[in-house]
Each structure stands twice: as structure tokens, then as C-alpha cells.
Amino acid sequence: MTPVDEPGFHYVIEHSDLGHINGIQRSQHTIQYLGVQYASLNDRFARAQLVTSKTTMSANGVIDATKYGYAPNLSSSNIDFSRFQTSSSEAS
């Protein structure tokens, strides 16, 4: 496909393993693909497994890369903030 000189234009590429990926053209020379899953984890400390199939497709067979993906699950209840606080003598 030839890019169109129109910001916001949806631009689809064909990836050999993942299939069609829909992105957004931001300028004449920039096409943005957001939130494309490139790996997965079996558990927290597992090695990442490269995505090699069309698992992230929508119903129409195209990966929607026009929006950011999910934010990581960071729970503040799992963080010991006391380790990061400075004492009053260090702050002066």
C-alpha cells in the first residue's frame, strides 16, 4: 500500500506471521502501530514467549493497532513504600 498524505488515515500492513495489522498514519513518513502483542508470559517470572500466530486478531481477521494496549497490573498494595521514604535528617 502507498501511504496517503493525510494524518489519521488507517494503514494496513500484511505481516507474514501475524496477518493484517491496522495502524494510523501520523504524518507522511510515520505510521503508528499501537498495542501489538509481541510476547506472552506463562507466569510472573517466566521467559517471554514470542507471539507467532494470529492470536490477537479481531473478528474480521485484522489486528487493531490503532489504540494503546492494556496497562500493566501494578497494585500499590504489593509495594513497600517505607523503603523509599527519606528520613528528616537526609532531606535537609
Q: Summarize pLDDT for 18-72 with one digit per residue, the tens.
A: 788 899 988 888 889 998 887 888 887 889 888 776 655 666 778 888 888 777 6
pLDDT at 9: 78
Could you give the C-alpha distances from 11 to 1, 31, 45, in angstroms and in order? 8, 7, 36
The C-alpha cell 501475524 sits at 18
pLDDT at 81: 67
What is residue 31's three-state secondary structure? strand
Is the pLDDT higher at 87 or at 26? 26
Is the pLDDT higher at 9 or at 29? 29
